[in-house]
Amino acid sequence: TVTGTAWSHAGGKKTALSNGRPLFADDVLSTDAGSQLKILLRNDVATLIKDDTQVSLISESGGKDWTLKLERGSVLNIVRNPDKRPNHFQVRTKAAVMGVRGTVFFVQSKPRQPTFLCTCSGSVAVTSSDGRSSTVISGTAHDSPKSIVDGAGEIRGRLRPEVMGEDHSDAEGAELEKIFDKS
């Protein structure tokens, strides 16, 4: 569903998104200021793409799973039935790859700032962009937010404690959860 104005950039064309439109691998999605987009991937991942955000949809494992490449902005994600998924949904940023182990999690990527990760509930595996190091961040009730500093080296050494902030809420998570009821 679209609130405000959201776009698909595919094949050199910029097309306004409308409610119910199918999305495809390699689509680049963007939202304007004050707009948001809720998407459902494979009936078990719901994502809220917040305002002024750009993501790329990447098909993984022969179409069995998805990765969001977060170019800029913010996304809130809910993964349903993680134990029954053959693979793990991921969000990639310039600083790290966040692989879901069953959770609600929020990621924000802004230019010249560390990536922000809030494991709202559940667990997220955080892996360095080069894939050489990883750690798992678990949380309940937004109690483990982190910033991830860009760079090379051990991912644990690039994590910093953060405060939750006001960029996402439990109410948004509850609204996003309703997408599963409609599918």
Beta-strand runs (E) in 80-114: 90-92, 96-109
From residue 52, how far is each of 24, 35, 55, 68 by CA, in Å? 21, 7, 10, 16
Name which of 143, 41, 130, 27 is nearest 85 in CA terms.
41
Give yes or no for residue 118 having a pLDDT over 80: yes
On the 0-12 / 13-18 / 19+ scale of CB atoms within 10 A, 95 is buried
Rg of the chain over Cα atoms, rounded to whole angstroms, equals: 15
- Statement: residue 167 has pLDDT above 70: yes
Q: Contacts for 129-133 with beta carbons within 8 Å, 24 or more apart?
A: 129/92, 129/94, 129/95, 129/96, 129/97, 131/97
14 close to 7: Cβ distance less than 8 angstroms: yes
C-alpha–C-alpha distance, residues 110 and 70, integer Å:
10
Burial of 111 (0-12, 13-18, 19+ CB in 10 A): exposed
pLDDT in tens, 24-75: 888 999 999 999 999 998 788 899 999 999 999 998 777 667 899 999 999 9
pLDDT at 82: 62
The DSSP symbol for 83 reads G
Task: With cut-offs at 50, 70 and 90, classify the pLDDT of residue 85.
Answer: low
Residue for token pair 């509930």: 121
Read off the pLDDT band of 86 (50, 70, 90).
Answer: low
126-161 residue pLDDT tens: 999 888 899 999 999 999 999 999 988 899 999 999
